[in-house]
Amino acid sequence: MFLACCEFLTLRGTKSVGILVVFSEIIHNIIDGIAIGVVFSSRKPTPIISTVIAIILHEIPKELADAGVLIHSNFGFWAILFWNSMSNIGAIFGAIIGLAVSEINKLSNFYLLSVTAGNFLYISLAQLIPILVHVKGKLINFLIFTGIFLGIGIMYLILLLE
């Protein structure tokens, strides 16, 4: 009985790309959690609000894209729900790490946020921009790059407000 209800826990019959997405999401969510933990340790409302908003705004489309990859990788509905939830628990562990390290040594905040920002820049510049080169259509390219520059502008505006 128990095995029948937990059949979605097995990864039998799924494509390896889906399994890799789950593991990469765990790492990504740990890094998100570290950023949240570090800014919460600062106890300053503006960085906390801006970081939480930025992470929420990038998590929504990312989770939808991950669900699409998992569907394409032959994951069932309950398996997608379970493995996405498991990968999101990584953010809790990351927040605990970020809070603990930043409470032990305030100087470490600079290094933790630098590594986190570097990770986000790497993902956007080294992973996504080369894919955009292959996108056909002037309107689509215009919309994509408008979104990129809009995101940069919003982050600069948040920096000015802080």
The residue extents of the domains of the chain are: 14-120
pLDDT in tens, 2-31: 444 555 566 666 677 778 888 888 988 898
pLDDT score at 13: 60
pLDDT score at 162: 66
pLDDT band at 1; cut points 50, 70, 90: very low
What is the chain's Cα-based Rg? Answer: 18
Rounded (10°) CA dihedral 46, 51, 56, 61: 130
pLDDT score at 127: 66
pTM to 2 decimal places: 0.75
55: Cβ contacts below 8 Å, ≥ 6 apart: 32, 35, 36
pLDDT in tens, 123-140: 777 766 777 777 777 887
pLDDT in tens, 68-116: 888 888 888 888 888 888 888 999 999 998 888 887 777 777 788 788 7
